Amino acid sequence: MIKMDNKSAKEDVIVKNKGSLIQTIKSFERCMADMKSTVLVPTRLNDIDSQTMAKSGVNCIRSDNENLYNVYNDLQKISKLLYGDRHQSDLKYANPMDLNGNSISKSLHNECLPKDDNLLTKLDYHVRHMRVILNELCGTAGYITNVYKEDVQNMHMNYNHIEYNNSEIKHYYTSNSSNSPIS
């Protein structure tokens, strides 16, 4: 889980939580990969939990301590940290800022806002935007090697058709069984 300290500078918090940031993104993308044969049904954020996900047939993160709701909460904490006072829970009006107060990828942000209440649509947006921010704040870290601007701009509800254009990501998915726990 992401650890927050209001007294810490953004730089310190990001550095301290770098591994968790990467793991959160990795966990979510693994979840998305597991859904390759599932058509999603819109689900309200406040209704989501592991039982709801199971009943709806969504094959998601299996660890009891890393369900989808926890991933969402982590991403919310990350976005609040990085967006600061401009943070909105749904990110519809947030203006991503870097450590110097400069706008980060504003055109990308404005063009790709979530249009509905589907949790996974918002999560997908969060994760892809986190790539932009992490790459600009921390540089390339681990397997985070691409920002996927085209993927964000072409996002749609049927996640069966999401295609990742990074060979390293494809290798990660194909070399790990969907039934194995998140490492």
Residue 78: the pLDDT is 56
pLDDT, tens digit, 9 for 90 and up, residues 2-51: 454 544 555 555 556 666 666 666 665 555 554 443 433 333 333 444 44
Task: Specify whether the CB–CB gap between 127 and 28 falls below 8 A.
Answer: yes
Count Cα neighbours of 99 within 13 Å in the Cβ-side half-sphere.
12
- Split at pLDDT 50, 70, 90, the class of 168 is very low
- Split at pLDDT 50, 70, 90, the class of 70 is low
CA distances from 178 to 29, 116, 173, 175 (A): 12, 28, 8, 9
pLDDT, tens digit, 9 for 90 and up, residues 92-123: 333 444 334 444 444 334 333 344 444 445 55
How far, in Å, CA of 130 to CA of 91, rounded? Answer: 12
% the chain with pLDDT above 90: 0
Q: Where are the domains of the chain?
A: 10-174
